[in-house]
Amino acid sequence: DSGVTQTPKHLITATGQRVTLRCSPRSGDLSVYWYQQSLDQGLQFLIQYYNGEERAKGNILERFSAQQFPDLHSELNLSSLELGDSALYFCASSKWSTGATTDTQYFGPGTRLTVL
Amino acid sequence: QQQVKQSPQSLIVQKGGISIINCAYENTAFDYFPWYQQFPGKGPALLIAIRPDVSEKKEGRFTISFNKSAKQFSLHIMDSQPGDSATYFCAASDEGSQGNLIFGKGTKLSVKP
């Protein structure tokens, strides 16, 4: 158990809908990262927050957004969903935001999103 | 543009054998190279990591070999066990990217008893 929690575990929805994925980082971790894992694209970095502020953006679509709240939990919002958005979405957390070898990213169990 | 190329895509090894997974990178700014292990239905978990100032790092049965000039690094699993059957991802990052990991496509390892 990494200490990172994600809810829900599974989500099934229809095209055009909007969903929210939730992540609680490990105790004491200030950074939250969101990744998307699909069969064809592998694991791709979406966005990172550090202590409530956006730090970096990766291959995140404009239909997707995220935020980190004062209690450090984070939510990933996916809107106008398309079939191709079906994937596993992982949240990871780390203590800082340095990329140092001591700043390990710990991954949650993921949310499996299925868009029908 | 795939910045970290991983091979092979899948690997079958007999119990007790050596599993070798290779990765190559393009960005010379990368300075942190972790390997993650992922079991079905679980999130990736850090296995072992290396920085480019060393050529090898060993932790138990797992060894990373790093070749800075060739921009390549590899994971060796000695005495492979059926419990090692999982998908392995190499990754890379640099401090300038706030630690965001660029992952390889993964290698599905099956260790046969």
**How open is the CA angle A4-B60-B21, to the nearest 5 degrees?**
80
Helices (H), chain A: none
Asked if A109 lies within 8 A of B43 by C-beta distance, the reply is yes
Q: Please state, in angstroms and rounded to a whole number, the distance separating the CA atoms of residues A82 and A115.
A: 7
Q: Please state, in angstroms and rounded to a whole number, the distance separating the CA atoms of residues B14 and A16.
A: 47
- B30-81: per-residue pLDDT in tens? 888 999 999 998 999 999 999 888 999 999 999 999 999 999 999 999 999 9
pLDDT classification of B96: cutoffs 50, 70, 90: low
Local structure of B97: helix, strand or coil: helix
A94 has a chain B CB within 8 A of its CB: yes
Query: How far A25 CA sits from the closest chain B CA (Å)?
Result: 14
- A42-100: per-residue pLDDT in tens? 899 999 999 999 988 988 999 999 999 999 999 999 999 999 999 999 999 998 765 55
Average pLDDT rounded to a whole number, residues A29-37: 94
Which of A38, A45, A94, A112 is best to mutate for the B interface (most B CBs within 10 A)?
A45
**Count helices and strands in chain A by DSSP H and E runs:** 0, 11
